[in-house]
Structures are given as structure tokens and as C-alpha cells.
């Protein structure tokens, strides 16, 4: 149960990232969240929307794993590992903040799923 709750929290994080990247990237909330300027946001809007879509796929996969119940644990593990890989890469290449927003929540959810 705790594994599914934490997995749901990670899915919610990625759904929020989807909204920020796809719909709010060039708006004040998006620019504030990612520390970008209006000029950069305008120039990179299409790329950000693409990133947002991928975050949506991660959220969908995590929700699918939850929906499957105990049989969905392998699905949860796969998508949580994907989130962790993306988070580690982002933390190394973009901002250490990504480690705390993405990677650590996914690692905690993964640990809870494994321990269940």
C-alpha cells in the first residue's frame, strides 16, 4: 500500500512537470519553476513541450502499475527506474535540484515497492 501511495506521488510530480513544460513553460509559473527568461522560454517552448510529453508517459506508466494492483509491481519498478535514470541524468547535466524533485522520491517509492 505504501509503495502504491509513494508511486502515486511520483506520478503526480510528473503530471505537474507535464503541465509546467507543455502549458506553462513561457508563463510566469513555468519560468519561475525552471529559472528561465522569457526569451529562453519562447525559443525553447517546443522542446519543453516534448519533454513534458515524456514526463506524461512516465506518469501514465506509474498510474498503470498502480491500477494493476499487486500484479503491477513490475510495471511500477520499471517506470520508477526510468524516473530515477532521467533524474540522475538531469541532476548531472541540468540542475542538482532534479535529484531532490525526481530521483529521491522515485528511489523511496521503489524501495517501498520492493519491501512490500
Band (3; pLDDT cuts 50, 70, 90): very high
DSSP label of 102: I
DSSP label of 83: H
Band (53; pLDDT cuts 50, 70, 90): very high
Q: What is the mean pLDDT of residues 22-43?
A: 96
Question: Percentage of residues in the chain with pLDDT exceeding 90?
Answer: 99
Q: How far apart are alpha carbons 59 and 8 in whole angstroms?
A: 8
Q: How far apart are alpha carbons 62 and 15 in whole angstroms?
A: 11
The pLDDT value recorded for residue 100 is 96
71 SS3 class: helix
- Give the pTM: 0.92
Alpha helix segments (H runs only) across the chain: 2-22, 28-34, 38-67, 73-93, 97-98, 104-115
Whether residue 7 contacts residue 76, with contact meaning beta carbons closer than 8 Å, is answered with: yes
Amino acid at each position: 500500500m505504501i509503495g502504491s501511495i509513494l508511486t502515486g506521488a511520483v506520478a503526480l510530480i510528473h503530471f505537474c512537470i507535464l503541465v509546467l513544460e507543455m502549458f506553462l513553460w513561457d508563463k510566469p509559473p513555468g519560468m519561475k519553476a525552471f529559472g528561465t527568461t522569457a526569451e529562453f522560454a519562447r525559443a525553447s517552448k517546443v522542446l519543453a513541450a516534448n519533454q513534458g510529453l515524456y514526463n506524461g508517459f512516465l506518469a501514465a506508466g506509474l498510474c498503470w502499475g498502480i491500477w494493476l494492483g499487486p500484479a503491477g509491481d513490475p510495471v511500477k519498478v520499471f517506470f520508477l527506474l526510468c524516473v530515477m535514470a532521467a533524474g540522475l541524468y538531469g541532476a548531472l547535466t541540468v540542475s542538482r535540484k532534479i535529484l531532490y524533485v525526481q530521483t529521491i522520491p522515485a528511489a523511496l517509492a521503489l524501495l517501498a515497492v520492493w519491501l512490500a
